[in-house]
Chains A and B, each alone.
Chain A
């Protein structure tokens, strides 16, 4: 079975540009998570969806960040406008249920110049 798929794997952009990260969760998984990993703060939860509905977005750092899940097989994380401090690795993870084991995608390494 395919795992969690993320695209792109690497993104380099300039400050002020819009960035869209994409995620396809494992089929049959009802919970989806977006995380950000930085050296300073480690892995942090940004937003959690259950059955395509955003349940907890308290980790989203600013209004510049937004996430959607239009259907069970696709989610996006958008940063507009991007800033150099947004540079990090962004992971998407999915699980069957909220408290079940989370399976992570390979991540998107974002560099904002």
Chain B
């Protein structure tokens, strides 16, 4: 049973436009969420995170929104750049001090010049 779901395997966006990547979760114990970015032949790289006590966290062009009641989070990239083309993984922690990261299967973003 997938506890973290990324329902769109792929997404194509024009350069300069907004990219919105979505993630849904089922476990109400999850209280900390992260986005990782992965280029081919490299490991996932931490991008941005959000605690469940917040509904928004922003870092430059990247913003993560959390809707706890809907158990949904999204990553917004504005403006999108060709270098953003990668696979994006949503991940979740449960409980203070938890080491367990549950990952979604990823969304492949292609930013078209």
Contact = CB atoms under 8 A, between A and B. Distances in A.
Q: Indicate whether A and B interact.
A: yes
Interface of A: 4, 31, 33, 42-43, 45, 48, 50, 55-56, 91, 93, 95, 98-99, 101-107
11 contacts: A42-B104, A45-B100, A45-B101, A56-B99, A93-B43, A98-B98, A99-B97, A103-B46, A104-B43, A106-B43, A107-B41
Contacts of B103: 42-43
Contact of A4 (B41, B43, B100): B43
Given A42-B106, A43-B89, A102 B101 contact: yes
A100 to B, nearest CB: 9
A98 B99 contact: yes
Contact of A105 (B32, B43, B99): B43
Which residue, B43, B93, B105, has most C-beta atoms of chain A within 10 A? B43
A72 to B, nearest CB: 17
Contacts of B46: 101-103
Contacts of A42: 103-106
A101 B44 contact: no
Q: Is the interface of B mostly helix, strand, loop or mixed?
A: loop
A31 B43 contact: no
A33 B99 CA distance: 9
- Residue in A48, A50, A95, A99 with the greatest tally of chain B CB atoms within 10 Å: A99
B49 A50 contact: no
Nearest to A58: B100
Contact of B45 (A33, A43, A104): A104
